[in-house]
Structure 1
Amino acid sequence: MSARARLACALAWLALLLAVGTWLSQTLTVSGDLRRFLPDARTPEQRLLIDELGEGPGSRLLMLALSGADPDVLAAQSHAMREALAGDPRFSFVANGADAGLDAIPERLRPYRYLLSPTLDAQALDAAFLGEALEARVQDLGSPTADLVEPLLPSDPTLETLALAEAWMPAHAPRTLHEAWFDRAGTQALLLAETRAAGFDPDGQRLAVDAIEAAFAAARGSTGSALEISGPGAFADEIGTRTAREARWIGTVDSVGLVLLLLLAYRSWKIPLLGVLPLASAGLAGMATLMLLFGDRVHGITIAFGFTLIGVVQDYPIHFFSHQRAGLSPWHSVRRLWPALATGVAATCIAYLTFLFSGVDGLRQLAVFTIVALATAALCTRFALPGLIDPAQRDAAASPRLLALWQRIERLPRPRWSLLALAVAALAVVALRPGEFWQNDLSRLTPVPEPLLQRDAQLRDELGAPDVRYVLTLQATDADAALGASERLRPALDALVAEDAIDGYDLAARYLPSAARQRARQQALPAPDALQAALDAALADSPFRADAFGPFLADVERARTAPPLQAADLAGTPLATRVEGLLLAGDGRATALVSLTGLRDVDAVARVASAHGAQLLDMKQASESLVADYRVRILGALALAALALVATVWFALRTPRRVVRVLLPMALTTLLVVAVLRAVGVELNLFHLVSLILAAGLGLDYALFFEHAGEDRDDQLRTLHAVIVCSLMTLLVFSLLALSSIPVLRAIGSTVALGVVFNFVLALLVARAPVGAGPVAHAGTPREAT
């Protein structure tokens, strides 16, 4: 095949990859739900944590603050934003203090106000009560509140709707100015917005933030006011924006650096093009397999981290390029390299098979992606790349600079017992270094700056938002029983408020009483004739017309005879959002949640909970136990992976001495990386563990190719050239990741960068065989392929 034909085939391959990539980008649905990277919950606390993290109202709540203008201007902007966002399907609830209670009850549920309100628990709906109410309404009509009261009078002369609005206000509602919420200083207008998108839906949260910013831009005009958005969704958007920004500059630097390195190493503009083909093929094959097996459950982290893990496949074409030389067919060269390359691929793939049994959907996807990608890249290097590369005109082994470096390496002493001393020292550091070994706190992995977290806490305090760490739970057989248990707990909670143990609380029964409580209130409602008589008596000395309150009589009768209101009846109303977040039902069980505000005495709350059959859950403790369970599963998978890797290498090499020379650098590197991280005070997390697998895979490849070179000096020189290029490329990529402001990327980058350095040095000193008298001809060398 001519050089022009080879280049045409390479370009055609590249065009095919671009077409497949375009199709996959338009077809593949990527999930952002981090719960797929969490293990199955085993305790009630863990199940509640996972549900609340993704679907709970706390994960969907956005807090908005407007500042930079006069209070009346900010209030007007707040009302304009509320009106714009309330009709937006991306939001289930928007509040700024303006008639929040009235909006919570749609017209079709207004008759139920007498079943929802606690008024009739202590007050009869008789002539005396109605007379006092009508007298108060006369005064209201002559006051500034007349515009609010007058539309309600025909159906609600007792203003039960407003009583509910007051009962549903937060225990510590924000300050109100110009009918809008403000902070205590009166300089910032505050709003609450609850998104329909789950907390772990970054795309949905991004759309919600965009809608808020658009509403603010429309309301702002030329006033110069500023908008501040806080909450999990805003943080997710911030993290996504920052990650994308860092990914762009890291990717740009990496791409330029890798192209320059390949050009410098091989002095051919075609090598960067040919080198990217196996890697791109590997990534696209992995994504296509994920789409086939998992459909719309493919996680974005799987793809992002998977591409990082398959970075090892870049070594395959580089070893092939470095072993090319004049007079040797590319097909013959790749056949000679295939035993070492195939052993490394098989060992790594078998190791990743253990993740299929981890019980974690995200890790299973990661295993499938990596196995398919590694196998694809290896097969492309073996059966496609040799047909595209031009016959080499130069031999890496003939490089004077490389020979000088190799001679210096040859003069280095070969470590023996010193390796044992190094391992003992590393073990001592790992075991004796003070401080926590494992990092269980998920909040430590957030890239959100501390000032933003402090501001979030300040806004929560201003708005009276509930505590995000502690929550009370009551278990019952069904939703109605859970509501009843909540009602029985309320007197004790009120006592805690009086004792200043908490500032306030919220629970579903506050908005939706149990069926038994609603039936009791129904029995307190008078029959139509009795109610008409009571109303007539109240109207005797009133300026209102006798026929003015027909809607009121109809509403009371409907409430008296209607079936009790249930959670399903609230669908499509703001009440549904509040109740659903505090009442979880499913699988034959129901859980009522009690959110706490201003918690000061944890022990007092725990005692009350225990005395009333409830449980005080510490969500921080639940998250730490979940992380610990996850780590146990990963460590178990790693142990099985290590056994599978050893068995694969043993099967391939068969000689104990060769097996030790290949596995020892990788094992010692893993120990040294952990020791260095511990020495500088790093607490290990799950991402360090998974990164150690990648570092181990790199070390295995370096050692295998040095072992494959045997005692042939020229082959060792070519292997040294390939390993130097591989190491520099990998070190560039992961060193940049180690400089990232994202804790997860920093953990991955620092772990793998250390692993590259240690693997390179130890493979040179341990896996490389002593050189014989000179080049050794390989027996049975076939003729050059045509």
Structure 2
Amino acid sequence: MRRLGLAATWLAVLLLVAWWLLPRLQISSDLRDFMPAPQTPGQKLLIDELGEGPGSRLLLVALSGAEPSVLARQSEGIRERLADDARFAVVANGGDAGMEAIPGYLRPYRYLLSPTLDEQRFDAAYLAGELEARLQDLGSPAAGMIEPLLPADPTLESLVLLDQWEPAHAPQRLHGVWFDQAGRQALMLLQTHAAGFDPAGQEAALAALDDAFAEASSGSGSRLLVSGPGAFSVSIGQRTAAEASLLGGLGGLAFVLLMVLAYRSWKAPLMAALPVASAGLAGMAAVAWLFPGGVHGITLAFGFTLIGIAADYPIHLLSHQRPGIPPGAGAKALGRTLGIGVVSTCIAYLSFFAAGVDGLRQLAVFTVVGLATAMLTTRFLLPALLALAARDVADSRLLSRLHAVVWRWPRLGPATVAIIAAVAAAVALLAPGPFWQNDLSRLTPVPEDSLELDARLRGELGAPDVRYLLTVEGIDVEAVLQASEELRPVLDDLRRQGAIEGYDLAARYLPSVARQRERQARLPDGATLAASLDEALADSPFRPDVFAPFLADVGQARVAAPLRPADLEDSMLHGSISGLLLDQGDKATALVSLSGLRDPAAVAAAVEPLGARLLDLKQASESLVAAYRERVLWALAAAVLLLVVAVSVGLREPRRVARVLAPMLVTGLVVVAVLRVAGVELNLFHLVSLILAAGLGLDYALFFDHAGSRREEQLHTVHAIGVCSLTTLSVFALLASSQIPVLRAIGVTVALGVACNLLGALLIARHRPPGQAA
């Protein structure tokens, strides 16, 4: 009853902590937390703005599977449903509802935004020509759209603006909306407010799109196809979560079955689960406390993988129980060995603070607190739950035979170990193919059919390239807008030459203040404009009083303060310029997105004299990954050094220290060599997994050293390490079968590391039985 009460109390405390912690736990998904401080302009743009950039926030939509007229109605239905949705900055389908892009308070500004006044004055001749054109329009099928605009806008500057704001490479229109060239798919272009580094925001936007499509299609049998970085991110995240949950569930089941078989007790997995659950909750609480801005999802995922080491602690305690010896005494006997292993591993992980990356710092805190909690609860709480052992789990004929076979194996001497390490290092360095993987896209692969769909829709819609960007820097927003205006003729020439298909920049939507003032100066005063209009109306069937709103708008435009970005926050234009115009306080940057880029060298050479620079974001990401890896490698070097110091202090005997550390260090090289021979390019996940495997290997070597030359102790150690390695292998072998590169990299590396570390510990760290020749 006492043990049952303690177990219930322990479980109740865990549930209470979870109840308190989980609602307060803020999960972050910003991948920039796992990136080092950028150094080059390209890296800075990649880290600070790529997630906010125009290409990363686009969703490319295609409707298919019904008659074109039906698809057009559905496209309009989706646009109407999402037009006022706060999750979207732009919802475009080429429809005639484009006037919504110009709210009422901005209508007088059309004369400052339109390029008409750059080459034309509102004199009598020009107005007469425009009025004659409007008479023709009123006799055309477009009369229904033109007539409401005439009193305030006889020159149709509103339509000039809408045409100017159209995508540079707009698709064809059928039934009033965009369609692909084959005329079988209705196309839409959506821009989310959520950044590209915000999977939760992208998922919410996609859910809203799905709801709008379900309402608009209403059982017509049509299909919704969505592409773009946000769609890829959500799809990959869901796929990874689903596969990780499945493999995690199977791994958990394998763990329970192995524990039941190893100890022939249904209580064993429950006893082992309590320290591990305590470790997970303590790690989460520590990270949430030290990093109030949010715990990164990768930290939690890696953290729970890394504290898989914690499951070894209760396994060792259970395997070393013997009849007649109180569990507390057994725990005390193991305490020093457990302590050395935990302290060494924790010191190694603390070195991640030197990497200067918040994500790794969170991972270090999670792991250190988690492992320390697992060890302390195993040492001081778990023994109180255990009854005296009724039998010795190591008293097994199979185990005795295994021990007899293994202990006849030769033990490797220092020279042999050095040769193995040298050969493994040479193989790893000389194996053909790249050593490191720098391409981030290969870590989260998109299915081939999705890539093909994205390329096709991007070509049809003229969507911007997600790899290349032009940047223009200046002291403030006004300076970069003026520089962008000077860049436009060059970009137009590049388009005519075929180097690019199109471009987009903030100056298309918002001219510089200087350009707006030039256009204001070309507007006539009220009396002059009224006289010119009267002269233009002399031979026209229009009544003079009809155009009073036009005179009022021009008068307002002449005295209005020029528009600035802040004035557009309540309009759809804000979504168009927010990702293209970056105000960083002490400086500003204008981005120019490109579509259909065919000749990067020609573009770079053409824009450089005007102070613009073509950035290859793929190259920037690869250089950033390389810089990140360098920091991690330095952290790992520090970790190895600290680990050697910690084990040396704990064991105090140089020969024992060498026997314990040698398996871990040599097998690390062997694992890298095997991966390289298999053609694997190493990435961050391999490095972190190597640390995990090294921590497991250190535990194996410590316990073989702890067993000494006593046969009985050796049997208990073989049982404990056998259960530890089998449970770990079962989990990570399942991960190795994953189709997700991140999960597969972790699974393959740790599974291979466990097998090599177990073999290395047996061949190097175990003691000889009494009487066996040295």
- Farther off after superposition, 20-29 or 249-258: 20-29
Amino acid corresponding to residue 32 of structure 1 in structure 2? S
- The answer to whether 1:313 aligns with 2:310 is yes
- Farther off after superposition, 273-282 or 36-45: 36-45
Preserved contact between residue 100 and residue 165 of structure 1 (Cα < 8 Å) = no
Selected match of 1:422 from 420, 426, 433: 420
Q: Deviations over 1:357-385 (max 9, x none)?
A: 21111011111111110111111011100
Residue 100 of structure 1, CA deviation:
6.1
Report what 1:106 is aligned to: 103
SS in 1 for 2:627: helix
Report what 2:645 is aligned to: 647
Q: Deviations over 1:669-710 (max 9, x none)?
A: 110110011001000011111111101100111101111111
Report what 2:705 is aligned to: 707
Report what 2:351 is aligned to: 354
Distance 2:97 2:407 in 1: 80
Report what 1:462 is aligned to: 460
- The answer to whether 1:22 aligns with 2:8 is no
Report what 2:679 is aligned to: 681
Distance 2:85 2:224 in 1: 19
Selected match of 1:564 from 559, 562, 565: 562
Distance 1:650 1:700 in 2: 13
Q: Deviations over 1:243-298 (max 9, x none)?
A: 22212221221121111101111111111111000000000011111111112321
Distance 1:281 1:109 in 2: 59
- The answer to whether 1:266 aligns with 2:256 is no
Q: Deviations over 1:32-75 (max 9, x none)?
A: 11111111111111111123332223222111110001100000
1:25-36 equivalences in 2 (<5 Å): 25-36=22-33
Distance 1:560 1:495 in 2: 33
Residue 154 of structure 1, CA deviation:
1.0
Amino acid corresponding to residue 572 of structure 1 in structure 2? D
Selected match of 1:447 from 439, 445, 448: 445
Distance 1:102 1:286 in 2: 54
Distance 1:253 1:222 in 2: 38
Preserved contact between residue 501 and residue 600 of structure 1 (Cα < 8 Å) = yes
- Farther off after superposition, 304-313 or 204-213: 204-213
SS in 2 for 1:59: coil
Name segments (4+ residues, structure 1) moved above 6 Å: none
Distance 1:69 1:329 in 2: 75
Distance 2:96 2:589 in 1: 30
1:408-419 equivalences in 2 (<5 Å): 408-416=405-413, 417-419=415-417
Q: Deviations over 1:94-140 (max 9, x none)?
A: 11011364222111111111111111111111111111111111111
Distance 1:586 1:206 in 2: 28
Distance 1:43 1:100 in 2: 43
Distance 1:734 1:264 in 2: 19
Selected match of 1:299 from 275, 292, 296: 296
Residue 773 of structure 1, CA deviation:
5.7
- The answer to whether 1:81 aligns with 2:42 is no
Report what 1:598 is aligned to: 596
1:489-504 equivalences in 2 (<5 Å): 489-504=487-502
- The answer to whether 1:150 aligns with 2:147 is yes
C-alpha RMSD over aligned residues: 1.3
Report what 2:157 is aligned to: 160
Residue 20 of structure 1, CA deviation:
2.1
Report what 1:390 is aligned to: 387
- The answer to whether 1:124 aligns with 2:84 is no
Distance 1:679 1:451 in 2: 31
Distance 1:101 1:66 in 2: 20
Selected match of 2:403 from 402, 406, 415: 406
SS in 2 for 1:593: strand
- Farther off after superposition, 477-486 or 27-36: 27-36
- Farther off after superposition, 482-491 or 291-300: 291-300
TM-score norm. by structure 2 comes to 0.98
Report what 1:722 is aligned to: 720
Report what 1:532 is aligned to: 530
Task: Say how many residue pairs are matched.
Answer: 771
Amino acid corresponding to residue 559 of structure 1 in structure 2? A
Distance 1:74 1:638 in 2: 57
Residues 206, 296 of structure 1: alpha-carbon distance in 2 compared, 3 angstrom cutoff: same
Gaps of 5+ in 2: none
- The answer to whether 1:278 aligns with 2:275 is yes
SS in 1 for 2:49: helix
Distance 2:9 2:329 in 1: 24
Distance 2:686 2:4 in 1: 41
Preserved contact between residue 52 and residue 59 of structure 1 (Cα < 8 Å) = no
Report what 1:777 is aligned to: none
Gaps of 5+ in 1: 775-786
Preserved contact between residue 709 and residue 716 of structure 1 (Cα < 8 Å) = yes
Residue 150 of structure 1, CA deviation:
1.2
Distance 2:323 2:685 in 1: 44
Preserved contact between residue 55 and residue 465 of structure 2 (Cα < 8 Å) = no
Residue 454 of structure 1, CA deviation:
2.1
- The answer to whether 1:49 aligns with 2:60 is no
Distance 1:214 1:223 in 2: 15
Distance 2:233 2:513 in 1: 40
Preserved contact between residue 33 and residue 54 of structure 1 (Cα < 8 Å) = no
- The answer to whether 1:325 aligns with 2:322 is yes
Report what 2:753 is aligned to: 755
Distance 1:25 1:591 in 2: 40
Amino acid corresponding to residue 91 of structure 2 in structure 1? V
TM-score norm. by structure 1 comes to 0.97
Amino acid corresponding to residue 408 of structure 1 in structure 2? V
Preserved contact between residue 607 and residue 613 of structure 2 (Cα < 8 Å) = yes
Distance 2:733 2:19 in 1: 30
Report what 1:37 is aligned to: 34
Distance 2:653 2:195 in 1: 55
Preserved contact between residue 55 and residue 593 of structure 2 (Cα < 8 Å) = no
Selected match of 1:477 from 454, 475, 478: 475
Report what 2:662 is aligned to: 664
Amino acid corresponding to residue 389 of structure 1 in structure 2? L
SS in 2 for 1:584: strand
Distance 1:264 1:601 in 2: 65
Distance 2:23 2:623 in 1: 39
Preserved contact between residue 101 and residue 161 of structure 1 (Cα < 8 Å) = no
Selected match of 1:220 from 198, 217, 227: 217
Selected match of 2:237 from 235, 240, 249: 240
Amino acid corresponding to residue 565 of structure 1 in structure 2? L
Q: Deviations over 1:607-628 (max 9, x none)?
A: 1122111111111100001101
Amino acid corresponding to residue 162 of structure 1 in structure 2? L
Distance 2:502 2:55 in 1: 17
Distance 1:435 1:127 in 2: 73
Report what 1:767 is aligned to: 765
Report what 1:179 is aligned to: 176
Residue 428 of structure 1, CA deviation:
2.2
Distance 2:147 2:707 in 1: 94
Amino acid corresponding to residue 562 of structure 1 in structure 2? A
Distance 1:646 1:616 in 2: 48
Residue 425 of structure 1, CA deviation:
2.4
SS in 2 for 1:544: coil
Preserved contact between residue 396 and residue 717 of structure 1 (Cα < 8 Å) = no
Residue 740 of structure 1, CA deviation:
1.0
Selected match of 2:622 from 609, 621, 624: 624
Preserved contact between residue 447 and residue 741 of structure 1 (Cα < 8 Å) = no
Report what 2:432 is aligned to: 434
SS in 2 for 1:715: helix
Report what 1:783 is aligned to: none
SS in 2 for 1:238: helix
Report what 1:778 is aligned to: none
Distance 2:634 2:8 in 1: 44
Amino acid corresponding to residue 610 of structure 1 in structure 2? E
Selected match of 1:370 from 367, 379, 383: 367
